[in-house]
Amino acid sequence: MQRRIIFALLAIVVIAVMLIKPRLPITVTDSTRGVYDQIEALDSGAVIMLSFDHEASSLPEIGPIGAAIAEHCFRRGISVVGLALFSEGNALGYDLLSRRAADAGRTYGTDWMYLGFRPQYTAAILGMGENIGDVFATDYNGTPITSFPLGERVRTYDDIALVVSIADGSMPTYWIEYAANRYGEKIIAALSAVMVTSFTPYLESGQLAGILTGLKGAAEYEQLLGIPKAGTRGMAAQSAAHVLIAFLVLWGNVDAWRRRKSDGTKR
Amino acid sequence: MNPLRDRLAIFTATAAGVFMTVQYFVSAPWMDATYRAILSWMQIIFACALIVGIGAVIKNHLTKIQRKPNERYYSVVLLVAVAAMAIAGFTGGIDQGSSFLWVFNHLQAPMQATVFSLLAFYVTSAAFRGFRARSIESAILIGAGLIVLIGRVPIGELLTPHLPSTADWIVNVPALAAKRAILIGIGLGMVATALKVIAGVERTYMGGR
């Protein structure tokens, strides 16, 4: 089969499913429920740190996770401190939190704050364990963080209930090594689906407090929040694409087997 | 070669390595102060490295414009984009509603997402062509891959409720065992390399000597 036909098939399947919008049942996994329960168990007024450790390319997959967690926090009255340890995540994280906070009617500086980006993630993560103000003297807009009530409340990891690293790479490893192991901070990794196997050992060992997995994790989280949004919308298209790939693999193998048989050759 | 420079670099690496190891276990006011200072230095050094990096990119593409006529247009686009974003950021700020953020959100992010999404098409094509059961092992691998592929999306549960649990078992038992072994190997390798750097045996960070 020609490559262009495969490309066209995939495009047609995904577009058709997105137009038809079939509703598929989404079962919430223990992993997602565990993260949800931990945030649900926090007192109103607790602080969560959302670290946008990803590039713009993976935004469609893990952006919905960040949106769902921010929504959950703002709904519960939990304050959010945002930051980025990837330069590209910086503007994306600020944009996402700004929109969610505006929708929820939350006030900047009191209910949420965005610290911005710092290079050298190792030093940044370790430095925040000593004093967040040393690493981020000013916020994203250049205002001293101590001029905000939330900035006054948050000095070290002791003042932060949870860190959620929204990542498409290995950044949660550094959060585990430097914030969890050294300062005892609880870390949750919100990952692109391909990274999950890399971080499951940390979950099993108790070094990670939870994992959220790609677009499916976002869909499950939206299910728990009762707000079907981008994650839920993407599930039908993702399912259809996976089924097409599986079908093509099976077809390719049957075709190869038939050819081998007709040629009378064995590999 | 400059023996004095090499010795200075080795001494710095050894001193920093020993200090950072000791301060993890020992708490003293002067150690904590030095530790905090080192963390600040690391940030400053990396911020300077970013400036050096931008300078290198600009220099590299200016050279390309001069020497490679066929590629000069790409380099011009890159340099104009770098300059435009820098000007937009420094003059208009990076706040909500700024031109910097608008360009980032409406041009860079969709463009990168588009390029990334093209992978789905290539993966589909590669899967069709490459996943051939030519042996028992490859058949098992393809079978496991297909179970995880379908079992990890909602339609898998519609087909049979056993599919998601089988997919989870594959990911959480055999795949995890292999991953854990790799991680332990990487961890031991990192410890060995760190010890070699601290001891001055590993010197490739000084330029391959």
Token pair of A14 as six digits: 């995904």
8 Å CB contact of B132 and A256: yes
User: Taking residues B82-110, what's their average pLDDT?
Assistant: 89
CB-nearest partner of B157 from A7, A25, A256: A25
Min Cα–Cα distance to chain B from A160, Å: 20
8 Å CB contact of A201 and B176: yes
Element (H, E) at A69: helix A59-76
Domain contains B115? no
Which of helix, strand or coil describes residue A52?
A: strand
Domain contains A197? yes
How far does chain A reach from its first CA to its final CA, in angstroms?
21
Determine the residue type at B128: F
Which has the closest alpha carbon to A203: A214, A212, A193?
A: A212
Q: What pLDDT is attached to residue A249? A: 95
Contacts of A3 in chain B (CB under 8 A): 125
Domain contains A88? yes
What does the mean pLDDT of chain B come to? 90
Find the domain containing A162 and state its range.
29-229
**DSSP of B75-141:** HHHHHHHHHHHHHHHHHH-SSTT-HHHHHIIIIIHHHHHHHHHHHHHHHHHHHHHH----SHHHHHH
pLDDT greater at residue A113 or residue A120: A113
What percent of chain B clears pLDDT 70, i.e. is strictly above it?
99
Domain count, chain B: 1
Contacts of B170 in chain A (CB under 8 A): none
d(CA B68, CA B74): 11
Domain contains B207? no
Element (H, E) at A9: helix A3-20
d(CA B16, CA B22): 10
Domain contains A261? no
Domain contains A247? no
User: Taking residues B141-169, what's their average pLDDT?
Assistant: 92
Domain contains A163? yes
The CATH number that applies at residue A60 is 3.40.50.620
Over the stretch A1-22, which tens digit does the pLDDT of each residue have?
Answer: 688 999 999 999 999 999 998 8
d(CA A3, CA B123): 11
Q: What pLDDT is attached to residue B43? A: 86
Domain contains A146? yes
- ipTM, interface predicted TM-score of the complex: 0.83
Domain count, chain A: 1
Q: Which residues of A240-267 are buried (b: 16+ CB within 10 A; e: fewer)?
A: bbbbbbbebbeebbeebeeeeeeeeeee
Over the stretch A132-142, which tens digit does the pLDDT of each residue have?
Answer: 999 999 999 88
Domain contains A84? yes
Domain contains A38? yes
Q: Which residues pair with A82 in a beta bridge?
A: A50, A114
Instruction: List B residues 139-168 in contact with A (Cβ-Cβ < 8 A).
Output: 142, 145-146, 149-150, 152-158, 164
Find the domain containing B19 and state its range.
1-92
B109 touches chain A (CB under 8 A): yes
Instruction: List B residues 11-70 in contact with A (Cβ-Cβ < 8 A).
Output: 24, 32, 35-36, 39-40, 42-43, 45-47, 49-50
Question: Biggest alpha carbon distance in chain B?
Answer: 70
